[in-house]
Amino acid sequence: MMTDIVLACCILHNFLRVVDNDQSLLDEVNRDLMEQEGEPVVSQLRDDDYRLGSEIRDRISNEMWRNYQNN
| Best CA proximity match to 5, nearest among 49, 41, 38 | 49
Q: Average the pLDDT over 31-57 and give the result.
A: 72
Judged against a pLDDT cut of 70, whether residue 43 lies above it is answered with no
Length of the chain equals 71
pTM of the predicted protein model? 0.36
Q: 42 in the Ramachandran plot: left (φ > 0), alpha (ψ -120 to 50) or beta?
A: beta
Cα distances from 37 to residues 31, 43, 44, in angstroms, run 12, 18, 21
Domain boundaries, the chain: 45-71
